[in-house]
């Protein structure tokens, strides 16, 4: 049977869901890889004798490559088809993972991390595009969206415990070699079950390579600028130059006649609002996954496995609430459901903003439950109305922009968190020291120690003895401020949803591209 004949033959339900499972496994690997590697950077640093000043680039190189390829998923999918693009990406990702494990120095490790990131950048947009290209509007799309959302959230939540188990049980190489088995499963399932479609390599003739170059450099400038801003300052000459480079090159890309990324899709108000909401969600989602381990490691001195045990609550809560998200998405208007989701998510973030330096699993449990329940309500209806009215040929481009928005929200949110922690922790430490002089009882209550344990403020050696406690208290206050800041930012989503106005509800069984007729 020819490939064109196979393309004309509709997929069976089994093949369709198995193919979608392959896409989800690929996305899970891409997201998980970020977290399991970051928990073990110190081990890799010692093993390969990489200086601490260069070690962050092992992670940054991956993120830059990933964020550059995310918006290019649409054009790549049109050229190679969903099935072939998954095969190319998963083979590249798995091979690069093996290359990382075999690396014996900084240069080779970073080179393979770049290849990993380039492959990872297409895996998440592929999943969300498949939701609308493989499944019918209604229950099928709702279930598929929830599955994609659950995978996207569980991966970073389980990363610390997986990374900790690997490094403590095996060697650092297995942080990368662990990708080989799921990579093989994804390859087989994707090759056998996803629809077979023709390649359109003729698109290469009309492809605007200049716009691709501009996009790549502009997003790299943004990522590097955000990475350096907390240390160098947001208004330092280097940081401002990087941000200016990003703005200039992005503008030059947008004004080109036919850029590789179809920015004209933002004329669709549903997609435009959906991307704005995805950006806000990225701040809270990736910010919380980043901030919680910071608190647990710097203040509570927990290891990766213990941190993972605490963080798994968010993923578990979303798993339990996933069926509820599908049910509510069927019976409630998308805008109202989104407002409930973002309000709950903001509340879950704010609930973490009142911790003490002794807060542990019990104190962190319910805020994570609220966030886990809220995530499905934020992602499912927003994804549906953002891309549910677009014709099939536009879905892959829209998915790239939608996922890029969430990724940008994440990296900007993390940069702001780093800046807040770096600047505010020192200020709070000074205030605590002043409080020890002006009101020792209040200082003792704040630090959760007895007044007798406080040294004489004029005794330098005594003060040195409680410096760790003071630092823990100062970091805790800064962390609490970051949680409250993310909660406040998330509330902006409610304003956007009010501005959006009523949303047409997609009609079950009506093909994409015809929804606008209703």
| CB 398, CB 77: distance < 8 Å | no
Q: What is the pLDDT of residue 459?
A: 66
pTM attached to this predicted model: 0.90
Split at pLDDT 50, 70, 90, the class of 7 is very low
Write the CA distances from 471 to 174, 285, 378, integer angstroms: 35, 27, 36
With a CB cutoff of 8 Å and minimum separation 6, the contacts of 216 are 68
Share of the chain above pLDDT 70, in %: 93
Q: What is the pLDDT of residues 210-246, one digit of tens each?
A: 999 999 999 999 999 998 898 899 999 999 999 999 9
Residue 118: what pLDDT?
A: 95
Say how far apart CA 177 and CA 307 lie, in whole Å. Answer: 23
Residues whose CB is less than 8 angstroms from the CB of residue 318 and which lie 6 or more positions away in sequence, other chains included? 149, 150, 153, 154, 372, 373, 375, 376
The count of residues in the chain is 518
Band of the pLDDT at 162, cuts 50, 70, 90?
A: confident
Q: How far apart are CA 194 and CA 419, in angstroms?
A: 44
Confidence of residue 364 (pLDDT cuts 50, 70, 90): very high
Rounded distance between C-alpha atoms, residue 157 and residue 270, angstroms: 30
φ/ψ of 504, rounded to 5, equals -65, 135
Give the residue ranges of DSSP H helices in 103-236. Answer: 106-134, 139-169, 174-177, 180-193, 203-206, 209-232
Which pLDDT does position 1 carry in this prediction?
32
| Digit-coded pLDDT (tens) for 19-63 | 999 999 999 999 888 888 877 777 888 888 887 667 778 888 998
DSSP 241-269: HHHHHHHHHHHHHHTSSS-SS-GGGGGSH
Q: Identify the pLDDT of residue 240.
A: 96
CA distance 488 to 52: 34
Whether 32 and 159 have beta carbons less than 8 Å apart is answered as yes
pLDDT higher than threshold 60 for residue 508 = no
The answer to whether the beta carbons of residues 413 and 287 sit under 8 Å apart is: yes
pLDDT band at 462 (very low <50, low <70, confident <90, very high): low
Q: Which are the contacts of 18, defined by CB distance < 8 A and separation ≥ 6?
A: 189, 192, 193
């Amino acid at each position: 049977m020819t490939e064109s004949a196979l393309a004309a033959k509709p997929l069976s339900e089994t093949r369709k869901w198995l193919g979608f499972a392959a896409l989800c496994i690929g996305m899970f690997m891409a997201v998980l890889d970020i977290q399991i590697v970051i928990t073990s950077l110190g081990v890799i640093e010692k093993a390969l004798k990489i200086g601490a000043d260069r070690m962050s680039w092992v992670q940054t190189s991956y993120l830059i490559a990933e964020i550059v390829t995310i918006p290019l998923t649409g054009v790549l999918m049109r050229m190679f088809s969903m099935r072939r693009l998954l095969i190319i990406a998963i083979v590249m990702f798995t091979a690069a993972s093996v290359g990382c494990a075999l690396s014996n120095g900084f240069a080779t490790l970073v080179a393979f991390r770049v290849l990993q990131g380039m492959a990872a950048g297409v895996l998440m947009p592929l999943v969300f595009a498949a939701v609308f290209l493989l499944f019918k509007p209604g229950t099928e799309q709702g279930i598929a969206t929830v599955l994609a959302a659950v995978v996207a959230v569980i991966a970073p939540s389980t990363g610390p415990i997986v990374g900790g188990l690997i490094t403590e049980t095996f060697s650092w190489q297995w942080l990368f070699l662990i990708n080989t088995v799921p990579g093989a499963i994804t390859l087989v399932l994707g090759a056998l079950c996803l629809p077979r479609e023709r390649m359109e390599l003729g698109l290469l003739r009309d492809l605007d390579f200049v716009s691709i170059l501009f996009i790549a450099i502009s997003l790299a400038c943004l990522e590097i600028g955000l990475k350096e801003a907390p240390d160098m300052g947001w208004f330092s000459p280097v940081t401002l130059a990087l941000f200016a480079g990003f703005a200039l090159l992005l503008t030059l890309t947008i004004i080109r006649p036919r850029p590789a990324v179809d920015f004209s899709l933002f004329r669709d108000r549903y997609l435009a609002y959906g991307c704005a909401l995805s950006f806000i969600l990225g701040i809270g989602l990736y910010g919380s996954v980043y901030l919680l381990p910071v608190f647990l490691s710097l203040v509570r001195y927990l290891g990766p496995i213990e941190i993972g045990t605490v963080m798994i609550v968010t993923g578990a809560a979303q798993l339990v609430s996933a069926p509820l998200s599908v049910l509510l998405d069927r019976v409630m208007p998308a805008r109202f459901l989104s407002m409930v989701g973002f309000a709950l998510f903001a509340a879950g973030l704010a609930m973490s903003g009142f911790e003490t330096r002794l807060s542990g699993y019990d104190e962190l449990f319910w805020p994570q439950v609220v966030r886990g329940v809220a995530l499905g309500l934020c992602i499912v209806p927003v994804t549906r109305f953002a891309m549910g009215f677009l014709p099939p040929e536009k879905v892959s481009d829209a998915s790239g922009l939608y996922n890029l928005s969430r990724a940008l929200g994440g990296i900007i949110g993390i940069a702001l968190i780093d800046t807040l922690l770096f600047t505010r922790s020192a200020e709070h430490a000074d205030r605590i020291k002043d409080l020890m002089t002006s009101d020792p009882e209040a200082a003792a209550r704040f630090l959760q120690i007895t007044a007798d344990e406080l040294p004489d403020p004029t005794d330098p050696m005594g003060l040195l003895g409680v410096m760790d406690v003071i630092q823990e208290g100062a970091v805790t206050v800064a962390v609490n401020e970051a949680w409250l800041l993310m909660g406040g930012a998330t509330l902006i989503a409610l304003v956007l949803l009010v501005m959006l106005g009523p949303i047409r509800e997609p009609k079950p069984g009506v093909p994409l591209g015809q929804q606008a007729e209703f």
